[in-house]
Structure formats: C-alpha cells, structure tokens
C-alpha cells in the first residue's frame, strides 16, 4: 500500500476484524471489549480495554496485539485524516448501489453514478434545508451530547503553556486517573 500511496494512512475495517476475532474467540464480552478498544479515543483507554481482554482471555489479547493498533483503534490514528470511521460501510453501501451501473459502458456508468450522487445530495439538502445556518446535524448533535455526558467527570487544569493536568474524578474524594497532556507534542 505504501508503494502505491506513500504517506497515506491505512486502516482496517473493524467490523471485518471483529468477525475474524469472533471466529477464534466467541462470546459477546470479548467482542464488546474489542469494540471498546477500537473506539478508545486515547492510548490509556485502549490499554485499559486491552488489559480487560487480557484478564478474560490471554490468547485473545495476544491475537489483537499482533495487529498494530494504528490500523484499528481511534486512539492510535494520526491527525492527518479527518475521519475516524472504523468500518467501511460507506464504500460497501456505495458499491452495492452502483452494481447495475458497473455493467454499462464507462461514460454511461459515470453518468449513472453522477445522477445517483446528485439525487442523494438533493435529498439530503432538502432534508436539512429547514435548519438555521450553522446548525449541527441531528446525528452529530446526539454524538456531541453523548460526549458531553462522558466527559462530565473529567477535570482539566492549565499546568503550563499548552500543558494540562487531566483528572478523572469518580466521586468528590477519589481521583482514579490522571494524565498530563502536552499540546506542544501533538502532531
């Protein structure tokens, strides 16, 4: 892949990775832990989920360690790509729509694909036309609300120029996780 597209980040479809994982390590608990590790947004959360997998099944842990996390976990994705999608549903859905068009001559195929895309964009535009300018789409609003809920227990304090202490507070007296975040070291 690097020969064909040097510098391009290559990721795996986690759904397919999970299907292969389930064949070797059946059970809902391990599958859910694998998805949690894939969705972890920072390295310590990924490590925590991996340790939980290790506790449940050492072979499953070793299997996942053989796959570099930069290919399947959000916590190790670079900042170059602006997409954190873990599955390739988008391309699979698109391919299923253009099956008929693919059988046609190239120009006709491209016209069919263009028509499909224009119809799709028009439908989406009409669906959200009534929203005020600058509005966030409903699904994104839901995701943002979930993120707000998940970060309520986190406290962030300035510790220096672009350096922060980030603390997870379980209750008023107990701090369970603490990290130092240095934005100067970010890519």
Phi, psi of 166, deg, nearest 5: -120, 125
Domain boundaries, the chain: 14-76, 89-128, 153-185
pTM: 0.55
pLDDT at 3 over 80: no
Exposure string for 48-76, b = 16+ CB within 10 A, e = fewer: ebbebbbeebeebbebbeeeebeebbbbe
pLDDT at 89 over 70: no
Give the model's confidence band at 168: pLDDT under 50 very low, under 70 low, under 90 confident, else very high: confident
Give the model's confidence band at 145: pLDDT under 50 very low, under 70 low, under 90 confident, else very high: confident
140 vs 1, higher pLDDT: 140
**pLDDT of 48:** 93
Q: What percent of the chain clears pLDDT 90, i.e. is strictly above it?
A: 32
**pLDDT of 88:** 63
Per-residue pLDDT averaged across 165-175, rounded?
76
C-alpha 136/C-alpha 144 separation (Å) is: 10
pLDDT tens-digit map of 33-84: 999 999 888 889 899 999 999 999 999 999 999 998 888 888 887 766 656 5
Phi, psi of 93, deg, nearest 5: -65, -45
C-alpha 21/C-alpha 62 separation (Å) is: 11
pLDDT tens-digit map of 92-144: 778 888 889 999 999 999 999 999 999 988 887 887 777 776 677 777 888 88
pLDDT at 187 over 70: no
C-alpha 76/C-alpha 70 separation (Å) is: 5
Residue of 113, 73, 71 whose CA lies nearest to 96: 113
Residue of 54, 62, 53 whose CA lies nearest to 30: 53
């Amino acid at each position: 892949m690097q020969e064909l597209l040097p510098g391009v980040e290559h990721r795996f479809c986690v759904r397919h990775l999970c299907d292969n994982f389930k064949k070797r390590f059946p059970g809902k608990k391990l599958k859910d832990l694998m998805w949690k590790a894939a969705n972890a947004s920072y390295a310590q959360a990924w490590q925590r989920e991996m340790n939980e997998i290790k506790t449940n099944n050492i072979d499953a842990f070793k299997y996942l360690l053989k796959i570099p996390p930069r290919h399947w976990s959000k916590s190790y994705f670079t900042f170059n790509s602006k997409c954190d999608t873990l599955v390739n549903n988008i391309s699979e859905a698109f391919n299923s729509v253009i099956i008929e068009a693919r059988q046609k001559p190239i120009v006709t195929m491209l016209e069919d694909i263009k028509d499909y895309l224009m119809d799709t964009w028009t439908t989406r535009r009409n669906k959200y036309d009534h929203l005020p300018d600058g509005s966030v789409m409903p699904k994104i609003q839901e995701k943002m609300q979930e993120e707000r809920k998940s970060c309520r227990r986190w406290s962030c304090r300035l510790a220096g120029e672009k350096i922060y202490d980030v603390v997870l507070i379980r209750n008023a007296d107990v701090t369970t996780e603490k990290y130092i975040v240095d934005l100067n070291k970010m890519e």
